[in-house]
A and B are shown apart, each in its own frame.
Chain A
Amino acid sequence: MKLDPNKSPAPQEPEPTTGSAPAPVWLFVLVALLAFWGMGFLDSHGGGFDARVYAPYNSAKEVEDEWPKSGAGAAFARGELVYREVARCILCHQPTGLGSPGQQYPPLAKSEWVLAREPGRVIRIVLNGLQGPITVTGQQFNSNGMVPWRDTLTDQQIADVLTYIRSEWGNNAPEVKPEQVKAIRDKTAGRPGQWLADELLKVLETE
């Protein structure tokens, strides 16, 4: 018998289809347990998702506790940074603190203005700058103008840099506190322009 190609073949069994069977319960339990363990691991090893926390530390507070928090040592180090990098006092007053007498920049080392027991005057100088004639360590300077830092530096930064210049280069004057800077900043707020040395000499030494 010959097969006729045009004739449809005899009916076949239908193709198998996918059915559905319930997933085993233990699989869900396992996934849930894994997720729980994973979250716990992330929580204890993630460092609170703080970019400053690396192993073996677990939180920013833990890292912070390792550093000396306060004291003159920390203020001194921060002040040195302000002196060198932030305000760049170093450009005129030099790494030695001796200034550049040739260009009328007075010294900070052994300067009676810096070493005064109460920092009232030197805080004013940093806040508003200074110009005109001034006598430092017995030498006459005709300052062509120190820049005001009132708007650039914070109270903390001014206190730090003053603490630094008051204890570097053999200087030995007490630390300056940010509160002292703030008090004088508020008192002299709205004062235009730079100080003259004569004006500063009128400020009480006990301030």
Chain B
Amino acid sequence: MNHGPLIFLGVFFALALSWFGLVFESQLQLGNAQPTTNLVNAAQLYPQMRPGQARQGLDVYRSLGCAACHSQQIGQTGRTYDVALTDAGTNRSAVVDTLLKVKPEATAIEAQRLLEKPSATILKDVTRAAADAAVAKFEPTGAKVEVRVIPTGPDIARGWGKRRSVAEDFLFDQPVMLGSQRIGPDLADVGSRPALTAEWHLLHLYNPQIVVSKSVMPPYRFLFEKRKIGREPSPDALKLAGKFAPEQGCEIVPTDEARQLVAYLLSLRADTAIFETPMTVARANVSTNAPAATNAPAAQTTNSVAK
């Protein structure tokens, strides 16, 4: 056997090719990525760096191995379009006529009612061509009609996110906690779910079954401190009842790690519309950049999907 050099060259080129394709090319394309200004309807750069406590929370997330069961990447398989009437204008009879043409199944009374709404969805789940055709029909009437882009896919249908994850979402994360297993739900956009407050997350970490009775997630009680109630109970103590409550005279208080982890979870948001992920968002509130003097969570209204 005297094929040493040939085998070496074969292995070398195979590795070099995959290194160029997977590492070098990606580095060329995304290595110098900066926060983008190509936002639509949001007056700030994206992404913003996570606040300090949330950055510490990333280390807690990493050390606890959360990424072994939770991914942070939302997939998207397609998109669909809605057509919405935002301003009926003055020529109402013409608008009603056009509306009946575009939406033949509607009655005249229904059409009248749609006109009264400040922002009425006329067509749902149509193709781009159909949406554009409808908009063109409304043009001569002077009414303002817009096409709304709505991302679709199994992850989005589950309510895990509003659009797919893209490279920008992870720009300030070191390391990136992409994850590959989905034993638990995807967390890429968990911070934008209004029902999941800081209090909810703390209870969930202490014992997941308090809030999700069938949860298979292990409890992280070591992130909490059990201590005797002093002169009066701590305002931070978890509000536990029934079989989860500690014995009389004791209270459960979250440690710094628990707070950091919750701050990190609340900072996980992938709901900003950027160039790569077209979707129609509600117009941002004027005062979204209020100075962060308070500890109140950021306004929830910034980028909710207009649907």
- Which A residues fall within an 8 A CB radius of B? 49, 51-56, 63-64, 66-68, 74, 77, 80-81, 83-86, 90, 95, 168
- Those 3 A-B pairs whose CB atoms lie nearest each other, nearest first: A66-B278, A80-B43, A51-B29
Say yes or no: is B149 at the interface (Cβ < 8 Å to chain A). Answer: yes
Q: For the complex, is B110 an interface residue (Cβ under 8 Å from A)?
A: no
**Chain B contacts of A168 at CB under 8 A?**
286
Choose among A51, A56, A80 the residue that contacts B30 (Cβ–Cβ < 8 A).
A51
Cα separation A81 to B42 with both chains bound (whole Å): 8
Bound: A49/B78 CA distance, A: 20
The majority secondary structure among interface residues of chain B is loop
**Given the contacts A51-B29, A54-B164, A84-B289, A67 and B278 also touching, CB distance less than 8 Å:** yes
Known A51-B29, A83-B43, A85-B37; contact A63-B77, beta-carbon cutoff 8 A: no
29 of the cross-chain contacts (CB-CB < 8 Å) are A49-B25, A49-B29, A51-B33, A51-B167, A54-B76, A55-B164, A56-B77, A56-B78, A63-B275, A63-B278, A66-B278, A67-B40, A67-B275, A67-B278, A74-B40, A77-B41, A80-B43, A81-B43, A81-B44, A84-B43, A84-B289, A85-B37, A85-B43, A85-B44, A85-B45, A90-B289, A95-B289, A95-B290, A168-B286
Most chain A beta-carbon neighbours within 10 Å: one of B29, B33, B42, B278 = B278
CA distance in complex: A19, B39 (Å): 65
A65 to B288, CA, bound (A): 28
A68 CA to B147 CA, complexed, in Å? 9
Interface size class of B (residues with CB under 8 A): 20 to 34
Whether a CB of chain A sits under 8 angstroms from the CB of B256 is: no
**A52-B276 in contact given A66-B149, A67-B40, A77-B40 (Cβ < 8 Å):** yes
Residues of B within 8 A of A63 (CB): 275-276, 278
Q: Inside 8 A of A53's CB, which chain B residues have their CB?
A: 276
**In the complex, chain B residues whose CB is within 8 Å of the CB of A67:** 40, 275, 278
Which of chain A's residues has its CB closest to B163's CB?
A54
Instruction: List chain A residues, Cβ under 8 A from B149.
Output: 66
- The CA of A84 and the CA of B289, in the complex, are separated in Å by 9
Look across to chain B and name the residue whose beta carbon is closest to the beta carbon of A90.
B289
| Interface flags, B212-246, vs A, CB<8A=1, else 0 | 00000000000000000000000000000000000
Q: How far is the CB of B22 from chain A (nearest CB, A)?
A: 14
Say if the beta carbon of B277 comes within 8 Å of chain A. Answer: yes
CA distance A84 to B42 in the complex (A): 11
List of A residues within 8 angstroms of B44 by Cβ: 81, 84-85
Contact (Cβ within 8 A) B275 A52: yes
The yes or no answer to B63 lying at the interface (CB within 8 A) is no
Docked complex Cα distance between A47 and B103 (Å): 35
Minimum distance in angstroms from A179 CB to a CB of chain B: 22
Q: Inside 8 A of B276's CB, which chain A residues have their CB? A: 52-54, 63
- CB neighbours of A51 from chain B (8 A): 29-30, 33, 167
Q: How far is the CB of B236 from chain A (nearest CB, A)?
A: 33
